[in-house]
Amino acid sequence: MLREYSSVFRSCAYLIAGLFFSQISAFAYADVGGLNRFDLKAFYNSAWERQPEFKTFQYKIDSAIAKQKVASSFLASPASIEFSQKTDKANNNLGMSETVIGLGFPLWLWNERSSSVNLANAEYKKLMSQYYLSQLKVAAEVRDAYWSYQKTKLENDLAHSRFENTKTLAIDVEKRFKAGDLARADLHQANGALATAELNLEEATANLINAEQRIKTLLGTEKFQKIKLDIVLKNTEPLPKVPENFSSLDASLPIVIALIDQLDVAKRAVELVQSKTRTSPELQILSSKGREVYGSPYQQSITVGIKIPFGSSAVNADRLASATAEMVDSEIKLAYERESALSNVESNVTLVKSAQIKLDAANKRSTLANETRQFFDKSFRYGETDLPTRLRIELEAVDANKQAVIAKINYAISVSNLRQALGLLPE
């Protein structure tokens, strides 16, 4: 009888020790960052440098500046030169000769130059706001991939630790079954627990591979192979300040700013179409030199004229309708996205508060569960608590500590999502 109880107690001690060290190892890994830690900001910077928008931005800036210079010029388009030679050598050959050299200067229509300047300036502003919006789009992908990896890595480590300890326990139970200390039911129960732990480990490993693949896609294979990804729960972005009145955020939300700039471009385009009702007129200055027949003196003259193209009401109506459609579309998008962006901020503020409450509750539960485990551990050693109760208390403590760690990550994710909704880049 003494041998039977001794074997049961020893098996229990192995299980408790395994669960305890599993939890300790999980916390040690969660709280200690490795060398060369690749944090969220470094992840974002590396991912952004691979984007086409980053590599082409300077060329787009040069193009926008060139458009501003063109719109500010005194001529609607570059001047032209004309040269012609007239002679009768192929016909009568009486000596008639005339040489004409002329210059053409395209002129702005009424209000066309100022409208072109306003449109070029608006397009420059839109380029800048769209560039920041592209940065935020990449930041959203980076944040999602980064925190998904953090979460799946923690779950994989916990699953691996549980599998190793369950495997150790199953081996010990098998030895004691062969020695006659434990029943076959205990062996089946231990092997069933091992199979469940192995299944959970394979699932967690698959999730981790998917999370790593997302990071590899954003960083590139070469950069991914050089970094060391560590799980660091302290690497949480700072909590931003949010005004109580969300309507005041209109002037600072990047999506709203970008749509306002897009609407301004559409309005300026309508103004330009309304001003440019026909092709630009052209001021012409011609100089001619010629004679009628051989022996006649050369005569020289200067001609000043203006070339005015006819307008087309159908063509202008088409251009005006297209520009107006773009303006109306921009107005509708602005109204919709403004409301959606403010709702998104409000929702994420609520989620941060909820995550904070859950984190506090999880930490409180973890503290109480650990204290309870100490009480029952002492009671078990004195023989006042049975084995099933001790195991139940131990499992509750392990689950509470796991939920506390996950709650920390969920809080970090909620803060990161709030910063994304406010249009803030990773820090």
Give the DSSP per-residue string, 221-277. HHHHHH-B----TT-PPPPPP--S-GGGGGGT-HHHHHHHHHHHHHHHHHHHHHH--
Backbone angles phi, psi at 237, to 5 degrees: -65, 150
Asked if residue 220 belongs to a domain, the reply is yes
Tokens 């040489």, located at residue? 99
CA distance 106 to 104: 7
Asked if residue 360 belongs to a domain, the reply is yes
Asked if residue 237 belongs to a domain, the reply is yes
Asked if residue 329 belongs to a domain, the reply is yes
Residues sharing a CB contact under 8 Å with residue 114, sequence separation 6 or more, in sequence order? none
Residues sharing a CB contact under 8 Å with residue 8, sequence separation 6 or more, in sequence order? 181, 387
Inter-residue contact 181 to 7 (CB < 8 Å): yes
Instruction: Tell me how many domains the chain contains.
Output: 1
Asked if residue 15 belongs to a domain, the reply is yes
Asked if residue 230 belongs to a domain, the reply is yes
Residues sharing a CB contact under 8 Å with residue 181, sequence separation 6 or more, in sequence order? 3, 4, 7, 8
Domain of 92?
A: 2-421
Asked if residue 427 belongs to a domain, the reply is no
Asked if residue 7 belongs to a domain, the reply is yes
Inter-residue contact 73 to 237 (CB < 8 Å): no
Name the nearest CA neighbour of 232 among 309, 161, 153, 300. Answer: 153
Q: Domain holding 371: CATH number?
A: 1.20.1600.10
CA distance 175 to 11: 11
- The β-bridge partners of 80 are 104
Per-residue confidence of the chain (427 residues) as pLDDT tens digits? 334 434 444 444 434 444 433 443 333 333 333 334 567 888 899 899 999 999 999 999 999 999 999 888 988 888 899 898 888 777 777 778 888 899 999 998 898 899 999 999 999 999 999 999 999 999 999 999 998 888 888 888 878 877 887 787 778 778 877 888 767 877 787 788 788 888 989 998 999 999 889 888 888 877 777 666 655 555 678 888 887 776 677 777 898 999 999 999 999 999 988 888 888 888 899 888 888 777 788 888 898 988 888 877 777 888 889 999 999 999 999 989 888 888 888 899 999 999 999 999 999 998 998 899 888 778 866 767 665 666 677 778 778 888 888 898 899 999 999 999 999 999 8
